[in-house]
């Protein structure tokens, strides 16, 4: 059922089998599987995650390639509720390992917030990432184009850049290397450092060898209209014409609530086994939070795997159910 | 485009980047990704695979839980064609490794068959499995219930057996162990060996300890109407009332076309790395053919992984695309 400030009290004494932090594609897939495994779960969604912003899903089997991400999430939420999952809009502030259970503290409501604490045997971290965007004085100017023809995922949207004049927006030298993958889709690449760092001579030479111009000035604004970015203006007034763009400035990982628990990581990615179990035996991680491709299809499969492994754990630790009437007869 | 006897001639001189054997969930997902990576592919589908028979999809995020598998496949086929994949109804008879390319021989048409040979750099084996069913004189009697309330996948449909009288239909002693997992969903389990093998005394004792009756007679027929199985009749005329059932008789693997190529296997499952690459560097395997869960969500993610790895291979072996006009200026 849908929980809110008004009805969550009733759930504070329950120990859920699983609390799922994040109601994106991975978290919802896990919820559907868990409930169908006769396990109880609570999905806690803060809203506005990465898939919420997708304008077109493009490459997820079974849905129209123009389905917006938010429609997929809405469908998944309905599905999860249908099979009996609990669902709460809230921000998970802390997960505390109490030994047998986890205590999960949530902030609910932006105004007159309440801070309920829920309990579960397992936690699935499915709270994802959000892409860092260029920081302009007027952020609305960025939001107008990001997710439209100013992309954040080459796998998802590389084809939409095919043979177009494309800006590559980076925040460190390592990210410039993206140009030499992106050129599979288009050779008309201009690189923008936004004045954020110095580019080495070796990288400058490599870009020149490929014919990819480098612009090192800060960005003033994106040009365009009706969500179609058509170029940029730099700090010194230079205008560069573009037809599309890719932002490769890293991501923010939504996993601060795990800070009190030591988990193995590779960079920021959580390390998991082939069933999505982290180095903590009762914490699983899905999708963008773990190593691997950041794709809806991967997150959905991760949800399947984590739910299945948790079911196995719980089932194997349970007493077998007997057909009692037959035993009495015997 | 859709290929058929009439128009396939034109494609016989082409070397596809990838030929995908099997147009189920995994193969179609791979096709969508490959085409969006600017790679060419041909999907060859024999028809009537495992997902075609699913009455309700149940647990795949993004589609209604009552969507039949065949509707998912139809949507995926449309999607793959939209992004430029070729699609052919036919039966792949043989894949031959010619070194740089594979030669793929296909039987097209049940009558007046033709046997075209297509070529590709990579092969994706996505042809899946089909569950073995009880062999009755009147197979229509089995087809009437299989996939309705006579299930073949516990992960998919365990919940639909919840606390119901369930038959477990097995063809070897090892499969009886399924009862001790299935009892998570219902303890009212009757085991049917169909007269196919002898049950050990140890297993008989274990079943008796759980209260699960064992029926060792051959099956005569399933009872029921309107696709709702309500019991079985055994060879000696005994009737056993049931409300649902699970068939656990193993599967047939559709991978005979790979017989000429040595590939590492675990039992019948193909062994793959974490990007679905088999022990042959240019053959990938997806979904039910490889080790792991036999679920639509897993096959779809496998398609994503295999397509991405093939893209990486081909991209890394290609010359980088330069912005030539800028080089001339320099």
Q: Which residue has the tokens 């996505």?
A: B126
Min CA distance, A145 vs chain B (Å)?
22
The first and second tokens of residue A108, run together, are 């609910």
Taking the C-alpha atoms of residue B106 and residue B121, their distance in angstroms, rounded to an integer, is 17
Greater confidence (A307 vs A56) lies with: A307
Taking the C-alpha atoms of residue B101 and residue B40, their distance in angstroms, rounded to an integer, is 14
Establish if B204 touches chain A: CB-CB under 8 angstroms.
no
For B329, the enclosing helix (H) or strand (E) is helix B324-329
DSSP A56: -
Residue A329: per-residue pLDDT: 65
Establish if B150 touches chain A: CB-CB under 8 angstroms.
no
- The strands making up A166-170's β-sheet, listed across from edge to edge, are A150-151, A244-248, A166-170, A189-192, A214-215
Taking the C-alpha atoms of residue B279 and residue B265, their distance in angstroms, rounded to an integer, is 9
Residue B109: per-residue pLDDT: 96
For chain B, give the percent of residues with pLDDT over 70: 99
Taking the C-alpha atoms of residue B262 and residue B278, their distance in angstroms, rounded to an integer, is 10
Q: Is the pLDDT of residue A330 over 60?
A: no
Min CA distance, A114 vs chain B (Å)?
31
Mean pLDDT of all residues in chain A? Answer: 96
Q: Name which of A20, A41, A61, A305 to mutate to probe chain B: the one with the most chain B Cβ atoms within 10 A of its Cβ.
A: A61
Tens of pLDDT along A134-158?
Answer: 999 999 999 999 989 999 999 999 9
Residue A49: per-residue pLDDT: 84
- In contact, A275 and A283? CB cutoff 8 Å: no
In this complex, which of A36, A297, A327 lies closest to B300 when CB atoms are compared?
Answer: A297
Q: Is the pLDDT of residue A326 over 60?
A: yes
Tens of pLDDT along B90-143?
Answer: 999 999 999 999 999 999 999 999 999 999 999 999 999 999 999 999 999 999
Taking the C-alpha atoms of residue B14 and residue B86, their distance in angstroms, rounded to an integer, is 12
Taking the C-alpha atoms of residue B67 and residue B57, their distance in angstroms, rounded to an integer, is 5
Taking the C-alpha atoms of residue A164 and residue A161, their distance in angstroms, rounded to an integer, is 5
Task: Return all residues near A6 (Cβ < 8 A) that are at least 6 apart.
Answer: none
Kind of pairing between the strands at B129-131 and B251-253: antiparallel
Q: Cβ A188–B213 below 8 Å, yes or no?
A: no
Minimum CA–CA partner of B214 in chain A: A326
DSSP string, B215-244: E-SPEEEEEEETTEEEEEEETTS-EEE-SE
Nearest alpha carbon to residue A36 among A18, A23, A15, A11: A18
Q: Place B277 in a pLDDT band, splitting at 50, 70 and 90.
A: very high
Tens of pLDDT along B83-93?
Answer: 999 999 999 99
In chain A, residues with a C-beta closer than 8 Å to the C-beta of B37 are 158-159, 184
Q: Is the pLDDT of residue B330 over 90?
A: no
Residue B86: per-residue pLDDT: 98
Residues A93, A99, A100, A103: what is their CA dihedral angle, to the nearest 10 degrees? -20
Beta bridge partners of A301: none
Q: Is the pLDDT of residue B162 over 70?
A: yes
Residue B329: per-residue pLDDT: 65
Q: Is the pLDDT of residue A328 over 80?
A: no
Tens of pLDDT along A85-119?
Answer: 999 999 999 999 999 999 999 999 999 999 999 99
Q: Cβ A323–B32 below 8 Å, yes or no?
A: no
Kind of pairing between the strands at A86-89 and A2-3: parallel
Residue B305 exposed, middle or buried by CB count within 10 Å (0-12, 13-18, 19+)? buried
Mean of pLDDT values over A189-214:
98
Q: Which residue has the tokens 């036999």?
A: B294
Residue A325 exposed, middle or buried by CB count within 10 Å (0-12, 13-18, 19+)? exposed
| pTM of the full structure | 0.97
Beta bridge partners of B189: B166
């Amino acid at each position: 059922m849908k929980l809110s400030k008004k009805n969550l009290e009733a759930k504070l004494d329950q120990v859920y089998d699983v609390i799922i932090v994040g109601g994106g594609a991975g978290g919802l897939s896990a919820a559907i599987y868990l409930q169908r495994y006769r396990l109880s779960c609570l999905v806690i969604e803060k809203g506005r995650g990465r898939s919420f912003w997708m304008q077109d899903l493009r490459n997820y089997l079974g849905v129209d390639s123009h389905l917006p991400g938010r429609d997929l999430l809405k469908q998944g939420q309905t599905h999860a509720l249908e099979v009996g999952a609990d669902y709460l809009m809230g921000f998970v502030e802390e997960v505390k390992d109490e030994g047998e259970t986890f205590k999960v503290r949530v902030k609910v409501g932006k105004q007159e917030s309440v801070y309920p604490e829920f309990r579960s045997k397992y936690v699935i971290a499915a709270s994802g990432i959000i892409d860092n965007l260029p920081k302009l004085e007027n952020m609305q100017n960025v939001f107008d184009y990001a997710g439209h023809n100013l992309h954040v995922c080459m796998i998802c949207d590389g084809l939409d850049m095919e043979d177009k004049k494309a800006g590559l927006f980076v925040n460190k030298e390592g990210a410039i290397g993206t140009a030499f993958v992106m050129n599979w889709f288009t050779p008309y690449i201009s690189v923008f450092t936004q004045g954020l760092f110095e580019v080495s001579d070796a990288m400058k030479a490599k870009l020149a060898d490929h014919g990819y111009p480098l612009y090192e000035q800060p960005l003033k604004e994106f040009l365009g209209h009706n969500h179609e970015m058509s170029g940029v203006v730099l700090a010194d007034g230079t205008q560069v014409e573009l037809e599309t763009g890719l932002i490769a400035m890293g991501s923010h990982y939504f996993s601060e609530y795990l800070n009190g628990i030591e988990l193995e990581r590779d960079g920021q990615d959580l390390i998991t086994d082939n069933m999505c179990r982290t180095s903590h035996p009762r914490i699983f991680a899905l999708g963008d939070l773990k190593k691997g491709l950041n794709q809806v299809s991967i997150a959905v499969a991760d949800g399947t795997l984590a739910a299945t492994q948790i079911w196995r754990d719980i089932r194997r630790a349970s007493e077998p159910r007997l057909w009692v009437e037959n035993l009495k007869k015997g």
